[in-house]
Amino acid sequence: MYDVIIIGGGPAGLVAGLYSTRARLACLLIESRTIFSQAITTERIENYPGFPNGIESFELIDRMKEQAKGFGLEFAFGDVKGFTKQGERWIVNLEDKDYESKTVVVATGASPKKLGISGEAEFCGRGVSYCATCDGPLFSDKDIVVVGGGDTALEEAIFLTKFAKKVVIIHRRDKLRATKLLQERAFSNEKIEFVWDSKLLEIFGKDGVEGVRIKDLKTEQESQLLCHGVFLFIGLTPNTDFLMGEVELDEAGYIITDDEMKTSANGIFAAGDCRKKSFRQIITAASDGALASFSAQRYIEG
Ligand code: NAP
């Protein structure tokens, strides 16, 4: 039996693993094969302290992994289907295997939201994407549409200008939600154009994406924009479906915790983007991970 099982291999989970193994707890981190940390969908991280020139997201995660492994963190792979309490133990169920633990830290993060319009599912992987780092190089010298006005949309639009001929950002309002620094960079980038107060109605094409149909929300006028790629960055959905009924979630599905990362279930803690919080960053995920581990230790000590 483990002392701590961590579900999720992003910054929150890895830091929980680092702190737990350094506390000499028997600790297993279960990493999904299908869900990836949001951290690696960004090419370069510029706001994690200690790296004055920034660091590639993959390298940062690899370094966190190496550090935790060095202190004895064990890894398993698979998607957790649920967990149940048996006496003082939690049984964590994967597709083909169960693990037992005194405590569980849920650090499953969040995944990109879908727009739910015609053509989105049909052209997914054939022009529609939710990850610029993964798919950006496929759009060399092509026209791209980006949807969203948050940090992700702007950061990824700027990244996509490395490859694309032109990037058009379509936003449903006339003000961006993104950090001012990213706004300044996007506004001064010659390859980026904005379409304000507009929403996507449809993504169309034949073998791949050929364009989008847009509606101006102020004038109600519809128009078409030809493009080869559509990148959707309209926010996140927490990866918490498997928790339904076990711990308290808010209306959007985020896990409700107290300041010490305790959930409504005894022995279950949550950390990172899957938790209800106001600021989702790598540094806040790391901080959650450390706190969740500390709270798990205190819980085990009784
Ligand atoms: P976000 O901050 O929730 O922004 C989502 C954007 O998509 C908003 O501009 C929103 O419009 C728009 N949107 C939402 N639903 C829509 C819909 N149905 N149709 C059209 N547009 C829609 O999400 P995010 O940008 O993915 O960021 C998630 C979190 O990660 C944030 O906390 C962010 O700060 C953080 N993050 C940080 C960094 C960084 O520090 N470098 C990088 C990436 C992400 P409205 O503005 O009108 O609501």
Rounded to whole angstroms, the Cα distance separating 20 from 24 reads: 7
Q: Does the beta carbon of 153 sit less than 6 angstroms from any atom of ligand 1?
A: yes
Same-domain check for residues 99 and 124: no
| 135 CA distance to ligand 1 middle (Å) | 19
In this predicted model, what pLDDT tens digit does every residue of 122-143 receive, in sequence order? Answer: 999 899 999 898 899 999 999 9
Same-domain check for residues 95 and 145: no
CATH of the domain at 227: 3.50.50.60
Q: CA angle, 297 as apex, 294 and 298 as ends, to 5°?
A: 90
Confidence of residue 155 (pLDDT cuts 50, 70, 90): very high
Rounded mean pLDDT, 285-291: 98
**Nearest residue CA, atom 17 of ligand 1?**
234
Give the residue numbers spanning the domain of 14.
2-111+236-301
How many other CB atoms sit within 10 Å of the CB of residue 245? 8
| 33 CA distance to ligand 1 middle (Å) | 25
Same-domain check for residues 277 and 144: no
In this predicted model, what pLDDT tens digit does every residue of 9-67 receive, in sequence order? Answer: 999 999 999 999 999 999 999 999 888 888 887 778 999 999 999 999 999 999 999 99
Tokens matching residue 282? 């790598």
Sequential DSSP letters for 139-183:
GTT-EEEEE--SHHHHHHHHHHTTT-SEEEEE-SSSS--S-HHHH
Q: Provide the number of structural domains found in the chain.
A: 2
Q: CA distances (Å), 288 to each of 59, 106, 198, 246, 292, in order?
A: 21, 11, 36, 20, 6
Domain ends where: 216, 232, 248? 232
User: Does position 237 have pLDDT exceeding 90, yes or no?
Assistant: yes
Catalytic annotation, residues: 131, 134-135
User: Does position 245 have pLDDT exceeding 90, yes or no?
Assistant: no
DSSP 3-state assignment of 104?
strand
Same-domain check for residues 121 and 40: no
Give pLDDT, residue 244: 85
Helix axes 151-160, 180-187, angle to 10 degrees: 30
- Beta-bridge mates of residue 84: 91
Tokens matching residue 42? 């960004």
Give pLDDT, residue 198: 98
User: Does position 152 have pLDDT exceeding 90, yes or no?
Assistant: yes
Phi, psi (5° rounding) for residue 14?
Answer: -65, -35
Give pLDDT, residue 108: 97
- What percentage of residues in the chain have a pLDDT greater than 90? 91
User: Does position 94 have pLDDT exceeding 90, yes or no?
Assistant: yes
Q: Average model confidence (pLDDT) for the chain?
A: 96
| 233 CA distance to ligand 1 middle (Å) | 7
- Beta-bridge mates of residue 204: 211
Rounded mean pLDDT, 280-285: 95
Give pLDDT, residue 133: 84
Q: Name the residue of 47, 117, 151, 158 whose CB sits within 8 Å of the most ligand 1 atoms, as the mutation to test its pocket.
A: 151
Domain ends where: 183, 214, 232? 232
Same-domain check for residues 103 and 241: yes
State the closest ligand 1 atom to the C-alpha of 171, by its place in the atom list counted from 1: 21
Same-domain check for residues 107 and 118: no
Tokens matching residue 154? 């702007």
186's enclosing H/E stretch is helix 180-187
Give pLDDT, residue 285: 97
Give pLDDT, residue 87: 92
167: left (phi over 0), alpha (psi -120 to 50) or beta: beta
